[in-house]
Structures are given as C-alpha cells and as structure tokens.
Chain A
Amino acid sequence: MTDASSTAASTERHVTFDLATGQVRSGADERLVLVPPAALDDLASSVSLEAATRFARAIGVAIGKRVARKLGFIDGVLGASLEAFVSELALEVALSGWGSLSIERWGRAMIVAVEHTPVADHRLIAVLVEGAIETASGKAAHGVSLGSLGGGVARILVASEKTAERARGWIAEGVSGQEVISRLQTPGADGSQA
C-alpha cells in the first residue's frame, strides 16, 4: 500500500538526461546546461558585475518559476507554510547545483543561507535568491549578501529595495552582518526608518 502523493513524487522526474539527443531537461521539460563552477567564476571575473548579476538572476528566476509551478503560483507560494516553501526552493537550488539552501528568521528579517555554493562571490548567490523569491512570490524583493557570518555559509538578507540599499551601505562601511540585522530590528536606528 503506497501513498498517492509519495507515488507521484517518486515517479516525477526532476532531471532527465536524454542521451540520444544530448539534452538535459528538468521536470517541467525545461532544458538545462551543466556548467562547471570554474567557468562561472571566470565569467563573473571577466565580465562586469552587472552582467554577472543578470546571469545569476536569470538562473534564480528559472528556479522561482519551478517552485511557483509546484506550489500553485503566487497565491500558493504566499499561502504555503515556511517549511513547504523552503523544501521546494531548496530542492530546485540543489538540482541546479547551487548548494544547500535554508531559511533563517532573525526577528522579523528573513535570511536565506546557502551552503556549498559553486561560486566564491556571494553577490551572485544573492542575486540568484533574489530572482527566485521575486519570481515565485510576485513581489519585488532584493537580496543583500551579509557575508559568510562564519562557517563559509552565504547569508542573504531579503528586504525591500530601500532597506537593501541601507544594508549595502552599512556593509560597505564595514558593519558586520549581525550588526546589520540588529540595526534593522531597531526602529529609527542610524537615522533610518524600519
């Protein structure tokens, strides 16, 4: 006796390697390309930051579409529990080979932590997460890399555009990621508004 959902999940193919045609397709019949991480680093270092950000953001958008399709698009994503959304998002990020994803809640701030990232520049990861969440939820979101915060884990703050700009300014000033989060929790801190 097998469960229907488990049977569907097991029979669902997330990635299909079509050796006859030389294609790799996702579950949504979306074609994928396996790229070595070194090539991404070379691309990120050779092109401008804007070009690299657009490249990573495109990957995140693709991941967000797959998550939204699984959870029921925007309404389903917003109404889904944290555990369900994190599970679907982490699955798609892992299938793409961008690392292990989890979500941390520091007060009212949402922090996306990604381990085992293929690129050294965490700003690309921030743009990837930004594109995925924005595409899945339908709301404008911005990702700010807070640094590794220890342990080699890329922590990405998801915030509004205004707040993201403040956080980038604090990080440029040398403020640590924990201090940025603490300042965001305090209303009116540093002359800003929460």
Chain B
Amino acid sequence: MNTQERIAKLEGILARVTDRAKAPRGVSVQVAEVSSHVDPAESATPEVQARDARTSAPAPAPAAPPLTPPPPSVDVEVEVVDVKQVSEPPISIDVSSDDEVESSERGVSPADEPRGEVAEEPLQSVVPAEVAAEASADFAKEPERVPEPEPEPEHTPEPPASSRRPIALESKLEDLAFGDVAPPEALHTPPPESGRQVASPADLDFDSDFTGVRSKENDEADVEVVHSPPPPPLDLPTSDVVFADLGPSDVAAADLAPADLAPVAPVELARVELPSGEHPSTDLVSAEPAPVEEATPSPVESAVVASAPEVILATLPETPAAIFEGSAKVFKPATFGELLEATLAL
C-alpha cells in the first residue's frame, strides 16, 4: 500500500468521523489534542489556544495547514480496522513531537485504552491541513465533556468459605465459536434422563377396547387352535393318572396355545424320565381326557408311597379315663363354736 492509497483511506475515515461528529449523539473528543496540530509558534500558549478553540468554534483556521508542513521522513502506518470501532470510542490522538511545546491540557482517554503505535506518530504529517482545521472547528462545537471520575471500588466483604466455589474461566466467545477450543465440561452432572416425562407420540394408537380381558369371540377369530395328532394307542398306563386332574384338554389348548406358538406340552412331557424306557403320553392337548384306571397303581404312586410312610392314628375312647366325684372338703367355720369343736376334736 502506497502513500496515496493510505491518504485516500484516511480521507475516507475523516469524512466518516466528521459525519459522526455532526450526529446528535456525543463523542468524546479532546479538542486540545486536535489543536495541538497547530504550530506552536503561532499560538501564544497552549492554554490560550485551547480556550480559543472552545469559545470560537465557528471560526475556521485556514492558516494552520500551510504553516506546518509534514516532515517527509515520517512513516505513518494507519491500520483501518472498522469504521464502527473507530467511531464508537472517543477519539484520542496523542501527538508527540520534539519540536512542539508540550501542552498542559491533555486528552483523557480511558485507562484501559492502550497507547502506543498511533500515539507516537505525528498526525499532522498525515492529515492535510485544511481537513484538520475543518475537523478542529467541528470538534470545537461540541461541548467539552469532563470524564466522570471513576468510582472508588467499594470494599466488599470477603465471601464466606462455603461460598468460595471455583469459578470456571470461560473462553472467549470467538474462540468457542470459531476456534479450536474445546467446549468446557459441565460443572455439575446433568439430571438423569429417566426423570423426565416422556410424552407419547401423537400418532400412537391404542386398542381402545382392550381391558385385559378379551371376549371369546375375538379369541376364536384370532387364535387358531392347534390339535396335536392323536397319539398311537399305547398299552402302558403310564401318566394318565397324573394328567387326569388337569381337566378337559381342549379348553387348555384354546386358552394357552396361541396361533403362533407350537404346542409345547408334549415336548415337556417327553423329558420326564419314566421307568423301563416307556414313552410318555401326549394326552395333554388332546380333546378327550384320559381314562382313569383305579385298579393298577402307577409308578408315580409307588414312588410317593416309598417316600412318605403311612401314618395310622390311634382311636381313643371318648369317655374320660378318670372320674372326679364330689369336691375337696374345706374347713371354714362360721361360728366360734364350730372352730372350738374342730380344734378340740384334733
């Protein structure tokens, strides 16, 4: 970037600054600093110059620019950041030159504002004289604003030890948004997910007539009753007695065996170990109950008899073995004569 381009940018900046200065909202501008561009040789004293700049604001200063030609050897480097950023804070330009008489009035800039690069460069070498004079005249119109004194920090009592929690230092928002900084971990464990009330989806459809008990008609329509093929006739009286108490097997099959389930009762019965390698009966899901035979005891009954002894209770007579007649004689004399006779009879 050459000098012409920089000058063009500076002119643009000055134009914006001028527009901003004319705006109704206030801008903290220190006139003294602007007036410091005036050649000190032509001003009586810095204080008088500053006073004149405040009081005679509309008066132009045409003679100032030609009297102060910019030194050719000065290298000005201006960084254009943003118009808003430049225009928002109060403009403070520090001009320091060995040739100038140091002014007693200085602009008060915010304490946090860094001073450095731009402040050390003489501004009059960059800004044209007419533009500076015009700007100074415009700035002189603005009332002087005295910066408010910073309030003294109040002495706050030290918080108790219980409230001294570690404060998490957050990263800058830019770093969090665009940088590589990992988001900070949560200080506390989030509440469990199970505590939340999960809303049911809107399109969830329930069987409105389902109450836990279904009518038989529906079951008959939906459930396909599967009947196992009738078993081959067996001569063994194996487990017929055990299964006889289960009742009609067709009802059990209709209630217990749904359509999509295979009958499992014969499979379970096949696991029962029976003596002499006999095959169990498959009458559990059959339509007809197995006949009960009373005469021949089954092996299961034999096993029960072997494990539990038969108890024979004695039959006792209902009449008492001993009979108590009368009552024990208790001597309780009613008169003195009875007692005297009793004691004399001893």
A34 within 8 A of B: no
B211 within 8 A of A: no
Q: Which of A110, A184, A185 contacts B340 (CB 8 A)?
A: A110
Q: Which of A80, A82, A141 contacts B344 (CB 8 A)?
A: A141
Binary B-proximity of A69-95 (CB < 8 A = 1, otherwise 0): 000000001111110111000000000
Q: Which of B333, B335, B340, B342 contacts A141 (CB 8 A)?
A: B340
| Stretch from A5-13, A52-60, A101-109, A117-125 contacting the other chain | A101-109
Q: Which of B331, B333, B346 contacts A82 (CB 8 A)?
A: B333
A137 within 8 A of B: yes
For chain B, residues 186 to 218, give those with C-beta under 8 angstroms from any C-beta of chain A: none
A161 to B343, CA, bound (A): 11
Contact residues in A for B334 (Cβ distance below 8 Å) = 81
For chain B, residues 312 to 331, give those with C-beta under 8 angstroms from any C-beta of chain A: 331
B345 within 8 A of A: yes
A84 to B331, CA, bound (A): 19
> Number of contacting residues on B, CB 8 A?
13
For chain A, residues 149 to 166, give those with C-beta under 8 angstroms from any C-beta of chain B: 157-160, 163
A77 to B335, CA, bound (A): 9
A63 within 8 A of B: no
A82 to B340, CA, bound (A): 10
B336 within 8 A of A: yes
Contact residues in A for B331 (Cβ distance below 8 Å) = 107-108
Find out whether the CB atom of A105 lies under 8 angstroms from the CB atom of B339.
yes
Find out whether the CB atom of A158 lies under 8 angstroms from the CB atom of B343.
yes
Known: A78-B340, A139-B340, A141-B340. A108 touches B346 (CB 8 A): yes
Closest Cβ of chain B: how far from A84's Cβ, in Å?
Answer: 8
Find out whether the CB atom of B346 lies under 8 angstroms from the CB atom of A109.
yes
Nearest-CB residue, chain A, relative to B332:
A105
B337 within 8 A of A: yes
Q: Which of B337, B342, B345 contacts A78 (CB 8 A)?
A: B337
Closest Cβ of chain B: how far from A142's Cβ, in Å?
Answer: 9
Find out whether the CB atom of B346 lies under 8 angstroms from the CB atom of A194.
yes
Find out whether the CB atom of B346 lies under 8 angstroms from the CB atom of A160.
yes
Main secondary structure of the interface of A (DSSP, over half): mixed
Closest Cβ of chain B: how far from A164's Cβ, in Å?
Answer: 10
Nearest-CB residue, chain B, relative to A166:
B346
Find out whether the CB atom of B343 lies under 8 angstroms from the CB atom of A159.
yes
A132 within 8 A of B: no
Closest Cβ of chain B: how far from A147's Cβ, in Å?
Answer: 18
A114 within 8 A of B: no
Nearest-CB residue, chain A, relative to B336:
A85
Find out whether the CB atom of B343 lies under 8 angstroms from the CB atom of A108.
yes
A99 to B339, CA, bound (A): 23
- Which of B331, B333, B334, B336 has most chain A Cβ within 10 Å? B336
A85 to B337, CA, bound (A): 10
Nearest-CB residue, chain B, relative to A103:
B339
Find out whether the CB atom of B337 lies under 8 angstroms from the CB atom of A77.
yes
Known: A81-B334, A107-B331, A108-B331. A160 touches B339 (CB 8 A): no
Closest Cβ of chain A: how far from B117's Cβ, in Å?
Answer: 125
A133 within 8 A of B: yes
14 pairs, CB–CB < 8 Å, chain A vs chain B: A78-B336, A79-B335, A80-B335, A82-B333, A109-B346, A110-B339, A110-B342, A137-B340, A141-B344, A158-B340, A160-B344, A160-B345, A184-B346, A194-B346
B binding-site residues for A, Cβ under 8 Å: 331, 333-337, 339-340, 342-346
A-B complex: 10 closest residue pairs judged by Cβ atoms: A78-B337, A110-B343, A85-B336, A108-B342, A160-B344, A184-B346, A163-B346, A110-B339, A109-B343, A158-B343
